[in-house]
Structure 1
Amino acid sequence: MNLSATIILAFGMSMDAFAASIGKGASLHKPKFSEALRTGLIFGVVETLTPLIGWCLGLLASQVVLDWNHWVAFVLLVFLGIRMVYEGIRGDDGEEAPKLQRHGFWLLVTTAIATSLDAMAVGVGLAFLQVNIIETALAIGCATMIMSTLGMMLGRFIGPLLGKRAEILGGVVLIGIGCQILYSHFSALS
């Protein structure tokens, strides 16, 4: 795979994380750049590891991974999205609840895993091609770190415009990403 194909693949794989990080940034109270970078690093590390895991699994049992990855991503994203919508509605009782200053580590890791399962599936496919998986995975991780950091900072500006609805919108975005993953899988079968 040449350099331009690797860059296109890397940024394509980062789009789910970008969308999720916009929602995460919008649901926080004026997230600082350090929080955006922290989120970007977590998403980037997970997105670096998942194609490597997928590549290893592709060498072992590709069909099993491909049969289930869309369901795992769907369930995780819908669960996290419903949780965010619930928290947004619960906080909408007429009184402004203080917004979070930062997201918990495990919440970010879970979201990163859910948005990076497509990268694992790509890793499975890359196991059958002559590619340098380390370089490709690092490119995907770096692109995801950049896009997630930018997404958090974009969410910082969107959040005040949306007010209490930002967390609800973030949850709806996660649910939408999960549904899109499931739809893509089933539309590819037909």
Structure 2
Amino acid sequence: MSSITLIFTSLGLSMDACAVSISNGMCYGNIHKKQIITTAAAFGFFQAFMPVLGFFIGSAFSNAISFLDHWIALVLLGFIGVKMIVEA
């Protein structure tokens, strides 16, 4: 990955975590400091760990599924699109 790709990916992930944190804060008015720190640590850990885990798993299986990758993307994105249309 290039540096610019990493920067935009990290910005997107941080905006996602920020949006979830804001919505949690709006839903739960009386939160203790321990809950705030625990939630922030959990979000930070998973936002950092999951892309790294995905990179390593993707690297391990890249040779095995490289001939199917575009079909897998088509099926997954098609499923999500149809699901969004049905739920709308």
Relative to the length of structure 2, the TM-score reads 0.55
- Relative to structure 1, is the Cα distance of residues 33 and 54 closer, same or farther in structure 2, using a 3 angstrom cutoff? same
What are the residue-to-residue correspondences of 1:1-16 with 2, within 5 Å?
1-2=2-3, 6-16=6-16
Q: Which has the higher contact order (CA 8 A, sep 6+)?
A: 1
Deviation at 1:40, TM superposition (A): 1.2
Q: Describe the superposition over 1:29-81 as per-residue Cα deviations: whole angstroms up to 9, x where unpaired.
A: 33244422221110111111111111112113353xx64877xxxxxxxxxxx
Rounded to whole Å, the distance in 1 between the matches of 2:76 and 2:38 is 26
Gaps of 5+ in 2: 63-68
Indicate the structure with greater helix content: 2
- Relative to structure 1, is the Cα distance of residues 40 and 61 closer, same or farther in structure 2, using a 3 angstrom cutoff? same
Report the equivalent of 1:39. 39
Tell me the matched-pair count.
71
Report the equivalent of 1:25. 25
- Relative to structure 1, is the Cα distance of residues 37 and 8 closer, same or farther in structure 2, using a 3 angstrom cutoff? farther
Q: Answer yes or no: is the 8 Å Cα contact 1:17–1:43 preserved in 2.
A: yes
Relative to the length of structure 1, the TM-score reads 0.30
Q: Percent identity?
A: 24
What are the residue-to-residue correspondences of 1:43-58 with 2, within 5 Å?
43-58=43-58
Q: Describe the superposition over 1:58-107 as per-residue Cα deviations: whole angstroms up to 9, x where unpaired.
A: 113353xx64877xxxxxxxxxxxxxxxxxxxxxxxxxxxxxxxxxxxxx
Deviation at 1:5, TM superposition (A): 5.2
Greater Rg over alpha carbons, structure = 2
CA RMSD of aligned residues (A): 3.2
Gaps of 5+ in 1: 71-181
| Structure 1 SS opposite 2:31 | coil
| Structure 2 SS opposite 1:29 | coil
